[in-house]
Amino acid sequence: MIEALNWRAVEPPKNTLRGFCDLKLSPSGLVLHDCSLHSRPEGKRWIGLPVRPRIDSVTRLQSKDAATGKFQWMPIAERERFQAAALAATDRLLGKGGTP
């Protein structure tokens, strides 16, 4: 089971980002801090797991995408089969089944 805790809304929402929460996994008690909740106007929703900066091996600075100039990030954990349970936990925390 997953329990969502400590909701922190992003106001106003930034692109697809709606806010952050912590997710507690039971029975292990593992807590994933700063997971992001995203949604699009057409209804697609997802949970983003924490990430870390991708560091360039030569410059030792955070890498940027050559085409867009945006900073690059590396996942800390994989999330197959995790999305539905994490979204349900976030909905329970927010007290509704929809997007904030």
pLDDT tens-digit readout, 18-71: 999 999 998 889 999 999 999 999 999 999 998 889 998 889 999 999 999 999
d(CA 14, CA 20): 12
Q: How confident is the model at residue 98 (pLDDT cuts 50, 70, 90)?
A: low
Is the pLDDT at 12 greater than 60? The verdict is yes
User: According to the model, what pLDDT value does residue 73 have?
Assistant: 87
Domain boundaries, the chain: 2-49+78-94
**Predicted confidence band of residue 99 (pLDDT cuts 50, 70, 90):** low
Query: What b/e string do you get for 29-53 counting C-beta neighbours within 10 Å, with b at 16 or more?
Result: eeebeebbbbbeeeeebebbbbeee
CA–CA dist 36, 100 (Å, integer): 12
Q: Which helix H or strand E contains 94, and what residues bound it? A: helix 83-94
Q: Residue 80 — pLDDT band, cuts 50, 70, 90?
A: confident
